[in-house]
Structure 1
């Protein structure tokens, strides 16, 4: 019996989520009401309150779930492994997994990052990338950087977050594997190589497998 109840609860939450998504696309976050959502989902208000306190609580729960699913992949990034994959002309698996998570939640992220969404949520992801990806580059920073380290972090965070956003907004025509390969190459070789303005560096003997 509990399994049947769990399936029913899951189905109800999915109906509420679908209703939320359609309303976010139409009218944005600011003016959403419980009545709007329950009418669209064709469930009663009491059912809504079994899962959420109100609309802000529903949004926060979903935002936290989506953020955590992406964060769990981001924290596994290892730049040495990414560079080794780039040298072999292979997509870095963790980068691919991150794009897969973005693809899984693309509709919600697009709504949240859009003009009718919640810009603070986009800032939350930018902070995640800065703190948990590029801060890992501090493991052995050169002492004679041409640009201050914090500016490099800001540039790379904005560039790669912009790449993710463009992929979602343009309809995700490329696969997560293709996007993972693009990001790996840009991070490892830089935009000038990606543009074709400079030649791809040859693989050094130290990076070749022994």
Structure 2
């Protein structure tokens, strides 16, 4: 794998930080390339060397976080729901700026949709409708319920500026998932 130039990484990081900061100040639709250029202290041309437009920048930023959550899901595959949830909530906590901006602001509804789609995919194997508590229930309905609930709780946590610690959040979410998925 070729080594990436540190200047490129630094520029991309500056642009990712700039878009998050700007999204806390104004709607994503109102952010211009000039705003990004000014905030990241790079030329407009530099932005276009890395991204097609602001939508491409945001899409790549979202994709990075979704991929990291996917990696963490794989790492937690053999763990119980509470321990697995701790892995996720630690990531939410350490990336507070991103998640709070994406979930607590109205500026990026497409992140919420992507997050929900990701969770639906991840919960497919967790929901057992053949036996136990979910017997007789439509699996797609149960998966939609679990994923939507999870997004809603995480969104509530960020919107309310983390009213409980990420550990308490994980324990509560994990306990609820155990009730539904086991």
TM range (shorter): 0.7 to 0.9
Cα 1:75/1:132, change in 2 over 3 Å: farther
Alignment correspondent of 2:130: 141
Q: TM-score, normalised to structure 1's length?
A: 0.71
**Separation in 2 of the partners of 1:7 and 1:128?**
31
Answer yes or no: is the 8 Å Cα contact 1:103–1:168 preserved in 2: no
The root-mean-square deviation of aligned C-alpha atoms, in Å, is 2.8
* Unaligned runs of at least 5 residues, structure 1: 84-90, 191-210
What is the Cα deviation at residue 77 of structure 1?
A: 4.6
Q: Does 2:102 correspond to 1:112?
A: yes
Counterparts of 2:141 and 2:53 in 1: how far apart (Å)?
A: 40
Residues paired across the two proteins, number: 178
TM-aligned CA deviation for residue 67 of structure 1:
1.2
Distance 1:71 1:155, change over 3 A: same
Structure 1 segment 120-159 matched on structure 2, within 5 A: 120-138=110-128, 141-142=130-131, 145=135, 147-159=137-149
**TM-score, normalization by structure 2:** 0.80
| Aligned position for 2:57 | 58
1:180, CA displacement in angstroms? 1.7
Partner residue of 1:164? 154
1:95 to 1:50, Cα distance in 2 relative to 1, 3 A = same
For 1:103-142, what per-residue CA distance to the aligned partner results, in whole angstroms no more than 9, with x for missing partners? Answer: 233322333334532323212211221221243323x721
Cα distance in 2 between the residues matched to 1:46 and 1:108: 25
Q: Find the structure with the greater CA-based Rg.
A: 1
SS in 2 for 1:13: helix
- Structure 2: any 5+ residue segments left out of the alignment? none
Deviation readout 1:92-111 (Å, 9 max, x if unpaired)? 1x211111222233322333
